[in-house]
Structure 1
Amino acid sequence: MDHTITRRNVARLPLISLATAALLLGVAGCATSSASETDDESATSAGYPVSIDNCGADLSIESEPQSVLTIGTSALSLLDAAGAADRIVARSGEFGAALPEGMSVDLSGVEIVDPSDPTTEKIVGANADVVVGYGLFNSTDEDLAASGITNIVIDGECSHDAALTDSTDFEAIFADIERFGTVFDTSDVAAENVAALQAELDELEADASAAADKSAAVIYYFSPASSLSARGGQGIANDILARAGMSNVYAAEPSVYLETNIETLLDADPEVIVIAYGLYGEDFDTAKALFSAEPGTSDLTAVKNGAIIGVLASDLAPDPDAIRGLRTVIDSAATLSE
Structure 2
Amino acid sequence: MPSRRTSSAVLHPRRPRPRRGAAATSLGAVGLAALLAACSSGTAGEGDPTTDGEAAPSGTAGHGTTATGYPLTVDDCGFEVTFDAAPERVVTIKSSTTEMLLALGLGDRIVASAFLDGPVPDSLADTAAQVPAVAEPLSDQVPGAEAVLGLEPDLVYAGWESNLTADGAGDRETLAQLGVATYVSPAACKAPAYMPDPLTFDDVFAEITEVGEIFDAQDAASDLVAEQRATLDGVTPDDRGLTALWYSSGDDIPYVGAGIGAPQMIMDAVGLENVAADVEDTWTSYAWEEAIAADPDVLVLVDATWNSAEAKIERLESNAATAEMTAVREGRYLTIPFPATEAGVRNVDAVVDLAAQLEALDL
* Residues 1:323 and 1:151: Cα distance change in structure 2 (over 3 Å): same
Report which structure shows greater RCO (CA 8 Å, sep ≥6).
2
Partner in structure 2 of residue 120 of structure 1 = 145
> Is the aligned partner of 1:166 residue 2:197?
yes
Whose radius of gyration is greater, 1 or 2? 1
Alignment of 1:184-333 (within 5 A): 184-204=215-235, 206=236, 208-209=237-238, 212-221=240-249, 227-278=253-304, 280=306, 283-294=308-319, 296-333=321-358
Contact 1:73 1:100 in 2 (8 A): no
Structure 1 letter corresponding to 2:242: K
Structure 1 Cα separation of the partners of residues 100 and 316 of structure 2 = 30
Among residues 94, 102, 109, which one is paired with 1:80 in the alignment?
102
Contact 2:196 2:203 in 1 (8 A): no
Structure 1 Cα separation of the partners of residues 315 and 94 of structure 2 = 24
Structure 2 Cα separation of the partners of residues 182 and 266 of structure 1 = 47
Gaps of 5+ in 2: 1-47, 58-66
Q: Equivalent residue of 2:234, what SS?
A: helix
> Is the aligned partner of 1:63 residue 2:88?
no
**How far is the alpha carbon of 1:119 from its aligned partner?**
1.9
Structure 1 Cα separation of the partners of residues 305 and 90 of structure 2 = 23
> Is the aligned partner of 1:182 residue 2:210?
no
> Is the aligned partner of 1:102 residue 2:128?
no
Structure 2 Cα separation of the partners of residues 229 and 279 of structure 1 = 16
**How far is the alpha carbon of 1:98 from its aligned partner?**
1.6
**Can you list the C-alpha shifts for 1:93-132, whole angstroms capped at 9, x where unaligned?**
125x222331162246324222112221222123221111
Structure 1 Cα separation of the partners of residues 171 and 248 of structure 2 = 28
Percent identical residues: 23
**Can you list the C-alpha shifts for 1:10-42, whole angstroms capped at 9, x where unaligned?**
xxxxxxxxxxxxxxxxxxxxxxxxxxxxxxxxx
**How far is the alpha carbon of 1:176 from its aligned partner?**
0.5
Structure 2 Cα separation of the partners of residues 164 and 64 of structure 1 = 26
Structure 1 letter corresponding to 2:273: S
**Can you list the C-alpha shifts for 1:232-282, whole angstroms capped at 9, x where unaligned?**
1111211111111111111111111222231221132211110011253x5
Runs of 4+ in 1 over 3 A off after TM superposition: 2-9, 160-163, 290-295
Gaps of 5+ in 1: 10-44
Using structure 1 for the length normalisation, give the TM-score: 0.79
**How far is the alpha carbon of 1:220 from its aligned partner?**
1.3
Structure 1 Cα separation of the partners of residues 206 and 158 of structure 2 = 16
Structure 2 Cα separation of the partners of residues 51 and 228 of structure 1 = 41
Using structure 2 for the length normalisation, give the TM-score: 0.74
Structure 1 letter corresponding to 2:221: A
Partner in structure 2 of residue 141 of structure 1 = 172
**How far is the alpha carbon of 1:307 from its aligned partner?**
1.3
Structure 2 Cα separation of the partners of residues 268 and 332 of structure 1 = 22
Structure 1 letter corresponding to 2:259: G
**Can you list the C-alpha shifts for 1:207-237, whole angstroms capped at 9, x where unaligned?**
x33x631111111127xx7852101111121
Structure number with the higher helix fraction is: 1
* Count of residue pairs the alignment pairs up: 296
